[in-house]
A and B are shown apart, each in its own frame.
Chain A
């Protein structure tokens, strides 16, 4: 009992409530100690959160890759304003309009250059196997700098020669391993539609959901291949303005000037135009959102199950804590802390796995899948909300912990 005398304790615990922050920390520590004690359960929960995390990352990744690749062509454009047929829904199926509209814009003192761009599809014969496949042809005056495909600068001179093309190195492999053939034997002959052309170099665009491969050529060579088309029609016009020009003002003036058969759009509007088609006019955007949602629901059910069984197997202990003077809200905080801990613990391996999978999928499909900060933060928010939702469902079970039933 000597030991007892040395214990100096306050006569009674102060009746004021503990500060919220310290309280939350202690509740979180209790939650962590409880999670840690049941290793198998903890790993199941982490795997569940990770699964949801990877699923959502893949869905959002595909969705964004789709939109990125679909807008690769408009994104490569160098121009401040563009003319498009208002009936065009997407770049891979453009509506034509009179080329003369391009020259009309030159009446505006701020328009320095008007570059018609011709888009069409033709069949390409694989130089290795001879199998035919549809390729998108992009024709324009290569010297104007209106289009900025990487690698274009190296082939500008060569493209001036008759019957020459540059090939998109990111085209799907079904088009043949052109980069290797080019590296081995230099420029070689290929067949597009019924015409034989010289393949003189490589540029970079990337496949989209609308086109599996691309070839770039001069305006004249484009007309040689697509001979049945009226030369006075074009598909897209890039306008380059004098430096310092007020883009919205020029846009407004051109709208006044030109007939209603062309729309005058800015660069961001052009990209949004293309993106809008894939997002709203196709079910693709919805499908990916639905997939993400399913992942979150499955993850939520798993986390809920884990939290629920953790509470259910500790009912007498929780009731004892309540008898000791712990408020119901303290236990609720502990459960929520457990849920949010699981969100963090599952998210970390989830994002790492997703980065790896992005790499693998990008190599297999040539779609531009990349992790970025914005998507990471968005998915973390979703996972956090998912776990919080599971926690809110599970805390209802805490009502069963009634200290009056303990005696």
Chain B
């Protein structure tokens, strides 16, 4: 029960009435501290929906899902917003704000903490960018960075708030082989050094090597044989 992610009997469906289409059926999953779990499977298998539910981006329908100690079944929008602040997200697209510098973009994830001052935030953001190897590009706007560099800024942003869990969706899909490898290895090293678990959805066979555990999904179910905890 103290695992960062603990799921039992999770069902989820889109649509209403006759158009109701189940996407998750009786999913059970547990992720332990410091673990890196890869979620694979054909598109439409429900893995992205599972990720949005764990990330508190969607309201639950049925089942139990505890993330970082917060029960998401019946959680209010406010509770979900607060939980999201403790989760680091990395998307397929970097989604950095084009009008902010790399440093300001990373600092955005720290502005939610009222205890920090502007100077602390920028310092932490700068240190975080140095950790992903972009210490010399603090003032560059996303338009002046390469794809791999932008995704590394996104990694720095996801990690800057010291999250208890990292959720990533196809973080390498928009990158070439070399920068894709770089980004996931960086992600793995940073997460490992802090004991932060990662749940990563991917199709990319080139990055399967970073996983502690690989879970396959199909038709809304976790395939038998996938290790559940």
Verify B91–A326 contact, CB threshold 8 A: no
Q: Is B108 at the interface (CB under 8 A from chain A)?
A: yes
| Contact (A9, B57) CB under 8 Å given A14-B115, A19-B114 | no
| Contact (A403, B57) CB under 8 Å given A4-B131, A13-B113 | yes
Verify B57–A404 contact, CB threshold 8 A: yes
Q: Residue-by-residue, is A192-215 near B (CB-CB < 8 Å gives 1, otherwise 0)?
A: 000000000000000000000000
Q: Which residues of B contact A (CB under 8 A)?
A: 48, 51-52, 55, 57-58, 68, 78, 81-87, 89, 91-93, 95-100, 104, 108-109, 111-115, 124, 127-128, 130-131, 157, 160-162, 164, 169, 189-190, 193-194, 201
Q: State which of A48-56, A74-82, A156-164, A315-323 sits at the interface with chain B.
A: A315-323
Our pick among B48, B55, B130, B201 for the contact of A323 (Cβ within 8 Å) is B55
Q: Which residues of B contact A3 (CB under 8 A)?
A: 127, 130-131
Cα distance A316–B169 in the bound complex, in angstroms: 15
Q: Which residues of A contact B193 (CB under 8 A)?
A: 1, 4-5
Verify A325–B112 contact, CB threshold 8 A: yes
Verify A317–B124 contact, CB threshold 8 A: no
Q: Is A324 at the interface (CB under 8 A from chain B)?
A: yes
Verify A12–B190 contact, CB threshold 8 A: no
| Contact (A1, B115) CB under 8 Å given A320-B91, A325-B85, A327-B81 | no
Cα distance A12–B68 in the bound complex, in angstroms: 10
Name 17 A/B residue pairs within 8 A (Cβ), A-sorted: A1-B131, A4-B190, A12-B68, A13-B85, A16-B114, A19-B114, A316-B93, A317-B98, A320-B95, A322-B84, A323-B91, A324-B89, A324-B109, A325-B83, A326-B112, A403-B52, A406-B89
Verify A324–B108 contact, CB threshold 8 A: yes
Within 8 A of B (CB), among A1-33: 1, 3-7, 9-19, 22-23, 26, 33
Q: Which residue of A lies closest to B80 (CB)?
A: A325
A80 to chain B, nearest CB (A): 63
Q: Which residues of A contact B194 (CB under 8 A)?
A: 4
Q: Which residues of A contact B89 (CB under 8 A)?
A: 320, 323-324, 406
Verify B98–A37 contact, CB threshold 8 A: yes
Cα distance A14–B99 in the bound complex, in angstroms: 28
Verify B112–A324 contact, CB threshold 8 A: yes
Cα distance A22–B113 in the bound complex, in angstroms: 10
Q: Which residue of A lies closest to B96 (CB)?
A: A317
Q: Is A34 at the interface (CB under 8 A from chain B)?
A: yes
Q: Which residues of B contact A325 (CB under 8 A)?
A: 81-87, 112
Verify A15–B82 contact, CB threshold 8 A: yes
B194 to chain A, nearest CB (A): 8
Verify A33–B111 contact, CB threshold 8 A: no
Cα distance A14–B164 in the bound complex, in angstroms: 12
Cα distance A34–B141 in the bound complex, in angstroms: 13
Q: Which residues of A contact B128 (CB under 8 A)?
A: 7
Cα distance A105–B104 in the bound complex, in angstroms: 80
Cα distance A38–B87 in the bound complex, in angstroms: 31
Q: Which residue of B lies closest to A7 (CB)?
A: B127
Cα distance A19–B78 in the bound complex, in angstroms: 16
Q: Which residues of B contact A17 (CB under 8 A)?
A: 114
Q: Which residue of B lies closest to A37 (CB)?
A: B99
Q: Which residues of B contact A5 (CB under 8 A)?
A: 193
Q: Which residues of A contact B99 (CB under 8 A)?
A: 33-34, 36-38
Verify B95–A9 contact, CB threshold 8 A: no
Q: Beyond the given A7-B131, A326-B112, A406-B169, could you list 12 further A-B residue pairs with CB under 8 A, ordered by the A residue number? A: A5-B193, A10-B113, A10-B162, A11-B162, A12-B86, A14-B114, A22-B114, A321-B108, A322-B84, A323-B55, A325-B86, A404-B52
Verify A407–B124 contact, CB threshold 8 A: no
A14 to chain B, nearest CB (A): 6
B168 to chain A, nearest CB (A): 10
Q: Which residues of B contact A314 (CB under 8 A)?
A: 97
Cα distance A407–B108 in the bound complex, in angstroms: 20
Cα distance A304–B52 in the bound complex, in angstroms: 32
Query: What are the 3 tightest A-B residue pairs by CB atom distance, in nearest-first order?
Result: A325-B85, A37-B99, A18-B114
B62 to chain A, nearest CB (A): 17
Q: Residue-by-residue, is A74-102 near B (CB-CB < 8 Å gives 1, otherwise 0)?
A: 00000000000000000000000000000
| Contact (A12, B162) CB under 8 Å given A26-B111, A406-B95, A407-B91 | yes
Cα distance A327–B82 in the bound complex, in angstroms: 9
Q: Which residue of A lies closest to B98 (CB)?
A: A37
Q: Residue-by-residue, is A163-202 near B (CB-CB < 8 Å gives 1, otherwise 0)?
A: 0000000000000000000000000000000000000000
Q: Which residue of A lies closest to B169 (CB)?
A: A407
B31 to chain A, nearest CB (A): 17
Q: Which residues of A contact B87 (CB under 8 A)?
A: 325
Q: Which residue of A lies closest to B82 (CB)?
A: A15
Q: Which residues of A contact B84 (CB under 8 A)?
A: 322-325, 403
Q: Which residues of B contact A38 (CB under 8 A)?
A: 99
Q: Which residues of B contact A16 (CB under 8 A)?
A: 114
Within 8 A of B (CB), among A37-66: 37-38
Cα distance A316–B91 in the bound complex, in angstroms: 10
| Contact (A33, B100) CB under 8 Å given A317-B95, A320-B91 | yes
Verify B162–A407 contact, CB threshold 8 A: no
Cα distance A5–B26 in the bound complex, in angstroms: 41
Q: Which residues of A contact B189 (CB under 8 A)?
A: 1
